[in-house]
Structure 1
Amino acid sequence: MAEYSNTTYSCRSCRNPLASGADLLSKSFLAKSGKAFLFSQAKNIVEGPKEKKLLITGLFKTADIHCSICGQVLGWKYLKAYDIKQKFKEGKFIIERAKIVKEYD
């Protein structure tokens, strides 16, 4: 997705930069607030406790992710997928669209 290489996704509440457009893998995910994006990497976040969650696509071990400045819950990190077809999500980040803003460098 080369068109996103000069884009940064930041926390809607405090404008803390969270992810690069170059790390955006998909815009086709859903979370509590609606649309969510899948990123290969995220920065300036704090991971919460590990927990097992039953999501639409199966059972996962996840950790909620929070903004390192304002503490806003942004989404989660996939730590483990129990279904082999979902293993590609391991180590990746879901960030809810409603919690971020797109900024251009």
Structure 2
Amino acid sequence: MGRLFVISLEGNIYRCKHCHTHFGLADHIISRTFQCRHGKAYLFDRVVNVTLGEKEERMMLTGMHTVVDIFCVGCGSIVGWKYEAAQEKSQKYKEGRFILERFKILGQDGSSYSIIQDAQRGGSESDEPRVTFCFTIHHYPLTIKDLLQLYILSSLDFLPSSIQAISNCF
């Protein structure tokens, strides 16, 4: 197996949300407008402390690409993918670049990302009362509707009693 060497970065760092292994710097982000299954994803010019999976052809929103999944060297969790090849000429700029799924990493300020958080940032302010659901990692204000969606998406069994407790506050 060998010895594991982990590179520590300095500056505005993106890291694994499970083991806090460093992946990349904010300065190495090419684009913050990518999308993946879990919401936002960032295109990085370079990343560190990842291992590569097997090459595979994958149909994405922008066409067929040859990609390899990338895994955290610290805990082994999948954190995104690397573009090996793009068939469309307009997509060639992605080759050799890395996608880190925002849902799977901690931001430069240590914040986590969720699908609900993304939905809240888009659109106008709601008339629904907002509460801070402190059981979540990100401590963002959520509506009861948001909590129900989170329950449906994650099937976590602690949410129903929490939702009931919050509902009693109104």
Normalising by structure 1, we get a TM-score of 0.91
Listed as ranges, the matches of 1:16-31 within 5 Å are 16-31=21-36
Which of 104, 107, 122 matches 1:102?
107
What is the count of residue pairs matched by the alignment?
100
Structure 2 residue 87 is the aligned partner of structure 1 residue 82: yes
On the 8 A contact 1:31/1:75 being kept in 2, the answer is no
Structure 2 residue 50 is the aligned partner of structure 1 residue 45: yes
Give the drift of 1:18: 0.4
Whole-angstrom CA distance in 1 between matches of 2:105 and 2:95: 22
Whole-angstrom CA distance in 2 between matches of 1:44 and 1:76: 13
**Correspondence for 1:10:** 15
- Structure 2, unpaired ranges of 5+: 1-9, 110-170
Structure 2 residue 23 is the aligned partner of structure 1 residue 32: no
Specify the code of the residue in structure 2 equivalent to 1:71. G
Whole-angstrom CA distance in 2 between matches of 1:25 and 1:12: 21
Offset from partner CA, 1:6-56 (integer Å, 9 cap, x none):
311000000000011110111100112111000000100000000000000
On the 8 A contact 2:86/2:95 being kept in 1, the answer is yes
Give the drift of 1:85: 0.5
Specify the code of the residue in structure 2 equivalent to 1:91. G
Specify the code of the residue in structure 1 equivalent to 2:63. G
Q: Percent identity?
A: 37
**Correspondence for 2:60:** 55
Whole-angstrom CA distance in 1 between matches of 2:80 and 2:37: 9
Structure with larger Rg: 2
- Answer 1 or 2: which has greater helix percent: 2
Give the drift of 1:102: 2.0
Question: Secondary structure of the residue that 1:15 maps to in structure 2?
Answer: coil
CA-based RMSD of the aligned residues comes to 1.3
Normalising by structure 2, we get a TM-score of 0.57
Whole-angstrom CA distance in 2 between matches of 1:10 and 1:84: 32
- Structure 1, unpaired ranges of 5+: none
Whole-angstrom CA distance in 1 between matches of 2:68 and 2:23: 16
Higher mean alpha-carbon deviation, 95-104 vs 20-29, is at 95-104
